[in-house]
Amino acid sequence: MSTQQLQTPEQHQVSPDGCYTLGQFDSSVCQELADRATALKGGATPDAKPGKALGLLFLNPSLRTSASFQRAAARLKLELVNLNSQGVWAMESEEGAIMDGTKAEHMKDAAAVLGCFVDVLAIRAFPAGVDLEQDLKDPVLHGFAKHAGVPIVNMESTLWHPCQALADWATLDQHQVPKPAKLVLTWAWHPKPLPHAVPNSTLCMAAQRGMEVVVLHPAGYQLHPEIMAEAHVLAAANGGSARVSHNRAEALDGAAVVYAKSWGSLDTWGDAEAETAKRAPLGDWCVTSKQMPQGAKFMHCLPVRRNVVVSDEVIDGPRSLIIDQAENRLHAQTALLERILS
């Protein structure tokens, strides 16, 4: 696998005023957004933008992101264009493609048209999960950013889920988790190989917040080396650290936060049979109360497979932050849209 496959940090800013990844913003901006999210949660009045329009384009399913963006739009008095994959034409993303197959519309046309109707366009586009090199280019987000002519907000792409990360930053603040505290991002077993957007974003968010981050996973489930490199840069700039561990007891010792997430192996990307065989012996990678350190908070972005990724006892326990994380999506996105549209 090449280590030069990802966009460089400068290129992350796929739209001059939009949001592709939190890492494109200074830490001070992230903190301002998290603080504003907390203020909005506490009852501050949103800075409404009547006459402006928000486009939502979901090429994959969503519960939290969809509901929270719709509510954020209502709070900001935005007009909404809400589209999903069932309601739009199948889209071609390749430049110069001869479109004689099943795809009826080119992304560049769809992007330019939607850009005529809205002031900011938010997009969800998961990886196809077939060709790693192609997925690492995050083609839909970058294609829309190139052709829409309006700021783009990433509602979860191949590589990043910045709105989840911003909500999680605010959640950590609201629960007074100290900046230098230890956050363990732990891999968990799941019946399917899942995308890397959330683990990438959690790692980099916690590093940028200045935390001691440990990525805990079994051998063969490493995050992309360039994502780890970016986490190291963000950690170094913000007084934090980032490292990998394969040892559950060692990694979890002293953790203030256990953030569970499953993700697929980069080594078997697109090969379902090989991935299934690889994870078959890893079924005990489930977060139970036995693994939870004394006093540690539990986090997960949802949706979650209960009693597979995490036991009911942990996720329903008093130190689980999952509902706050989800609620903070509304406030974080309201804060983000206020800023983009100001």
> Where does this chain bind ligand CP (CB under 6 A)?
62-65, 156, 164, 301-303
Which token pair is 7? 């966009």
- Rounded least distance, CB 60 to ligand CP, Å: 8
Nearer to ligand CP, 5 or 66 (CB): 66
CA–CA separation, 226 and 159 (whole Å): 11
Q: CA–CA separation, 201 vs 129, rounded Å? A: 18
Name the minimum Å distance from CB 198 to ligand CP. Answer: 7
Residue 120 to residue 253: CA distance in whole angstroms: 44
Closer of 172 and 301 to ligand CP (Cβ): 301
Which one-letter DSSP state was computed for residue 260?
Answer: E
Q: Tokens 């139970």 sit at which residue?
A: 288
Q: Between residues 138 and 156, which has the closer beta carbon with respect to ligand CP?
A: 156
Q: Which residue is nearest to ligand CP (CB)?
A: 65
Rank residues 27 and 65 by Cβ distance to ligand CP and give the closer one.
65
- CA torsion 267-273-275-279 (nearest 10°) is -150
Give the shortest CB-165-to-ligand CP separation in angstroms.
11
Minimum distance from CB of 264 to ligand CP (Å)?
16
Helix, strand or coil for residue 287? strand
In whole angstroms, how close is the CB of 237 to ligand CP at the nearest point? 27
For residue 75, the surrounding DSSP H or E stretch is helix 64-75
CB of 319 vs ligand CP, minimal distance in Å: 19
CB of residue 59 to ligand CP, shortest distance in Å:
12
Any long-range contacts for 78-81 (C-beta under 8 Å, 24+ apart)? 78/49, 78/52, 78/53, 78/54, 78/337, 78/341, 79/51, 79/52, 79/53, 79/54, 80/53, 80/54, 80/55, 80/56, 81/53, 81/54, 81/55, 81/56, 81/114, 81/117, 81/118
CB closer to ligand CP, 252 vs 336: 336
Least distance between ligand CP and beta carbon 104 (Å): 26
Between 62 and 245, whose beta carbon lies closer to ligand CP?
A: 62
Q: In this complex, which beta carbon is closest to ligand CP, that of residue 119 or of residue 156?
A: 156
Q: In terms of CB distance, is 231 or 330 closer to ligand CP?
A: 330
- Using alpha carbons only, how large is the chain's radius of gyration in Å? 19
Which ranges constitute the DSSP H helices of 83-184?
Answer: 107-117, 132-135, 139-148, 162-174
What is the distance between the alpha carbons of residues 56 and 207, in angstroms, rounded to a whole number? Answer: 29
